[in-house]
Amino acid sequence: MSKQPIFESIPEHDHPGFTYFRCYASSLDLRLMALFFGSLAVVLLVIATAFAMIGAWFVIPFAGVEIAALGAAVWMILRRAGDFESLAFRGDRIQVEVCERGLARRFDFHCSWARLVPCGPGAVALRSHGRTVEVGRYCDETGRQELTRELRGRLGAGRI
């Protein structure tokens, strides 16, 4: 298992730009999720088969429903596994990339026109020319406040 903090933002101060990256937090990777699902399904089937052998055959359909429900829960978790957001300042441009449920969207804002606006309780967004994108969606409240301070400093406090 990797010990790298893949869920933390990655500020890059090596060059004049700034990059922020954050992933959807999931405690199990694909291999562990498959192992968990497979072993639980086998245990359910063994128990259901044991009951069927002693005459309680009606347990089999319920075991199938349990496995299907578990599979649906695993599928819902895995479809979010690749979600991320990336925000990069490159010269006079701000590039925002958001990937949710396999759908990637890119936004490109000019620093002079971009504004940081509130978009809900504790949430912030970048807005320019009628386009708005929420940032900090995978942060806790403290992380969102730190990101907001960083963005305010980069965009200029007078324009927020």
Whole-structure pTM value: 0.62
What pLDDT, on the 0 to 100 scale, is given for residue 34?
87
What pLDDT, on the 0 to 100 scale, is given for residue 17?
64
Architecture of the domain spanning 18-25+83-159: Roll (2.30)
Q: At what angle do helices 59-78 and 30-53 cross, to 10 degrees?
A: 170
pLDDT in tens, the chain (160 residues): 443 333 344 444 444 567 778 777 777 777 888 898 999 999 999 999 999 999 999 999 999 999 999 999 988 888 887 788 888 888 888 888 988 887 889 998 888 888 888 877 778 888 888 888 888 888 888 888 888 888 888 887 544 4
pLDDT tens digits along 72-99: 998 888 888 778 888 888 888 888 898 8
> For the chain, what are the domain ranges?
18-25+83-159, 30-78
What pLDDT, on the 0 to 100 scale, is given for residue 69?
95
Rounded to an integer, what distance in angstroms lies between the CA atom of residue 52 and that of residue 47? Answer: 9
What pLDDT, on the 0 to 100 scale, is given for residue 2?
40
In Å, what is the CA distance from 34 to each residue of 23, 65, 122? 21, 18, 35
What pLDDT, on the 0 to 100 scale, is given for residue 83?
84
What pLDDT, on the 0 to 100 scale, is given for residue 47?
94
